[in-house]
């Protein structure tokens, strides 16, 4: 068993926001769960359990559920809460009670600290601004105590730790060789660690771990009473659903992924982006399952090529997006895009637009473009849009907006409110790529776009059966079954 000094020693996956020795008379180890909302393959929870075992202390996890997360809608909260139900059960199998409390997450955590007197508080890393602000508040409070409480945060939702890329990467071609050089070190299963020290109780059974809200969908949805964009039927959150989707992808879709991943009908993708966003499944779990399929004897060359293509998207491209958000404080505005793109867009800012649509018209899919309208409606109805169509969707918003800054804001607002994986590094990066040339290069100059890559209706619809896709979305509007599950 490793001692606490070894566990809190410098490590690429761990950032010590408050350093020092565990509080000598601490009564437990507290894990603040926020981004990594799971108990399986969670290195942050593993660290908390290992510290508890080393210090001979019980471990508990707390989740602060706030009804005011920026841009989050009712559909997102239900998905999140469904995940907490699975996580509570999985954490209990490890000897760790999960406690959910309502309120501002930093306030929830600091109240839990006062209540339980932890020797160490462990958190999970989050590159987005609000997550960083929350952690900074908690770190400041823990550091100013008479006996500071160590506060390590763990980069639990990437395969290769983000700390190994300390600067903003220019493009996939700059981060790809760095990831490939290190991938063998990190693409390994995590151990399953169980808490060894039980919570103390007296002879009458009193005591035990701290308590919180009942973790049921009905209770928690009733307590937070959030509105906004409505729920999506048949799109459940949680680790169980994520595992089911992963099994389906490997068994039924992976072999065709390389060839058909840009086809929106039928989906050949894993459909795990929302579960990854909420931390219901580890990217490491996905990558290992896909890699294992490629290593099976007799696997066709086409399947191996599909595996390489999928891991490129799931590791290289996803972690490039995380790098962008972690290293560029202006990631959610046009100001965070490269100089060349902003300059060329500014040069063409006054170019006549073929059409101008308001944000409301776009939200309601009231444009002249049937393919764009179908993509927007798919997103509003199902909480998702095929990745290839997302690129076209955002570029047309640029073409139909009075200026690039407005286009960026409208695209991000619609993405964050309607997509189940909204408010995520992938979403910020996708909008920045489509509108602001992020991670791209200059192309031939044209009106409005300048040298930012252009996509046309005619060229896009020729790449797949657009009429079939449009008809399919019309079926969704009429109340047909949603394209989720088997």
Place 265 in a pLDDT band, splitting at 50, 70 and 90. confident
Two tokens, residue 250: 């490997």
Length of the chain: 486
Mean pLDDT of the region 192-214? 87
Residue 486 has pLDDT above 50, yes or no: no
Place 296 in a pLDDT band, splitting at 50, 70 and 90. confident
The candidate with the shortest Cα–Cα distance to 286, out of 259, 308, 314, 305, is 314
> Residue 480 has what pLDDT?
52
Check residue 111 and report its DSSP letter: H
Check residue 250 and report its DSSP letter: I
> Residue 205 has what pLDDT?
63
Mean pLDDT of the region 7-26? 97
- Tell me the C-alpha to C-alpha distance, in Å, between residue 478 and each of 57, 381, 472, 481: 56, 11, 10, 9
Residue 362 has pLDDT above 90, yes or no: yes
Rounded-to-integer distance, Cα 277 and Cα 428, Å: 13
10 Å CB burial of residue 183 (0-12, 13-18, 19+) is middle
Q: Domain coordinates of the chain in residue numbers? A: 4-157, 334-477
435-468, pLDDT tens digit by residue?
999 999 999 999 999 999 999 988 888 888 899 9
Residue 269 has pLDDT above 70, yes or no: yes
The CATH architecture to which 4-157 belongs is 3-Layer(aba) Sandwich (3.40)
Neighbouring C-alpha atoms within 13 Å toward the C-beta of 370: 11
The candidate with the shortest Cα–Cα distance to 423, out of 44, 79, 43, is 79
Element (H, E) at 99: strand 98-102
Mean pLDDT of the region 320-329? 98
> Any residues with CB less than 8 A from the CB of 297 and at least 6 apart, and which?
none
Residue 53 has pLDDT above 90, yes or no: yes
Predicted TM-score of the model (pTM): 0.95
> Residue 233 has what pLDDT?
86
| 3-state class (DSSP) for residue 438 | coil
> Residue 481 has what pLDDT?
46
> Residue 387 has what pLDDT?
87
The CATH architecture to which 334-477 belongs is Orthogonal Bundle (1.10)
Place 482 in a pLDDT band, splitting at 50, 70 and 90. very low
Phi, psi of 98 (to 5 degrees): -100, 125
Check residue 446 and report its DSSP letter: B
Q: Which residue has the higher pLDDT, 58 or 298?
A: 58
| Tokens 């009942």 -> residue | 214
Query: Whole-number mean pLDDT of the chain?
Result: 94
374-428, pLDDT tens digit by residue?
999 999 999 999 888 999 999 999 999 999 999 999 999 999 999 999 999 999 9
């Amino acid at each position: 068993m490793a001692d606490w000094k070894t566990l809190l020693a410098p490590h690429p996956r761990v950032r010590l926001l408050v350093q020092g020795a565990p509080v000598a008379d601490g009564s437990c180890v507290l894990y603040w769960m926020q981004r990594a909302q799971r108990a399986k393959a969670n290195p942050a929870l593993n660290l908390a359990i290992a510290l508890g075992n080393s210090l001979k202390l019980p471990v508990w996890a707390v989740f602060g559920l706030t009804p005011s997360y920026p841009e989050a809608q009712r559909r997102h909260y239900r998905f999140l809460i469904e995940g907490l139900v699975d996580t509570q059960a999985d954490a209990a199998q490890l000897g760790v009670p999960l406690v959910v409390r309502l309120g501002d997450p930093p306030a929830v955590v600091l109240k839990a600290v006062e209540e339980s007197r932890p020797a160490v508080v462990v958190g999970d890393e989050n590159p987005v601004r609000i997550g960083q602000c929350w952690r900074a508040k908690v770190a400041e409070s823990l550091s100013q105590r008479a006996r500071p409480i160590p506060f390590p945060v763990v980069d639990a939702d990437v395969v290769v730790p983000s700390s190994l890329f300390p600067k903003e990467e220019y493009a996939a071609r700059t981060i790809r060789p760095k990831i490939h050089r290190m991938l063998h070190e990190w693409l390994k299963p995590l151990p399953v660690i169980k808490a060894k020290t039980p919570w103390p109780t007296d002879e009458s059974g009193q005591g035990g771990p701290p308590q919180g809200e009942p973790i049921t969908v009905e209770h928690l949805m009733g307590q937070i009473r959030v509105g906004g964009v409505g729920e999506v039927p048949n799109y459940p959150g949680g680790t169980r659903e994520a595992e089911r989707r992963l099994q389906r992808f490997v068994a039924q879709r992976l072999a065709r992924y390389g060839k058909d991943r840009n086809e929106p009908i039928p989906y050949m993708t894993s459909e795990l982006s929302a579960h990854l966003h909420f931390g219901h499944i580890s990217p490491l779990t996905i990558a290992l399952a896909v890699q294992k399929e490629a290593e099976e004897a007799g696997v066709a060359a086409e399947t191996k090529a599909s595996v390489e293509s999928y891991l490129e998207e799931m590791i290289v491209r996803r972690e490039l997006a995380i790098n962008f958000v972690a290293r560029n404080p202006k990631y959610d505005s046009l100001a965070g895009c490269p100089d060349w793109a902003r300059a060329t867009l500014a040069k063409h800012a006054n170019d006549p637009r073929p059409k101008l649509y308001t944000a409301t018209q776009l939200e309601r899919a009231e444009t002249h473009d049937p393919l764009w309208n179908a993509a927007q409606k798919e997103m509003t109805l199902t909480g998702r849009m095929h990745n290839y169509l997302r690129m076209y969707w955002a570029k047309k918003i640029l073409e139909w907006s009075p200026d690039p800054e407005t286009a960026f804001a409208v695209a991000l607002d619609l993405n964050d409110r309607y997509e189940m994986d909204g408010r995520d590094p992938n979403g910020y990066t996708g909008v920045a790529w489509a509108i602001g040339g992020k991670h791209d290069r200059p192309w031939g100059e044209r009106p409005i776009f300048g040298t930012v890559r252009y996509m046309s209706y005619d060229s896009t619809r020729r790449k797949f059966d657009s009429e079939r896709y449009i008809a399919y979305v019309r079926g969704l509007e009429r109340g047909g079954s949603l394209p989720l599950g088997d």
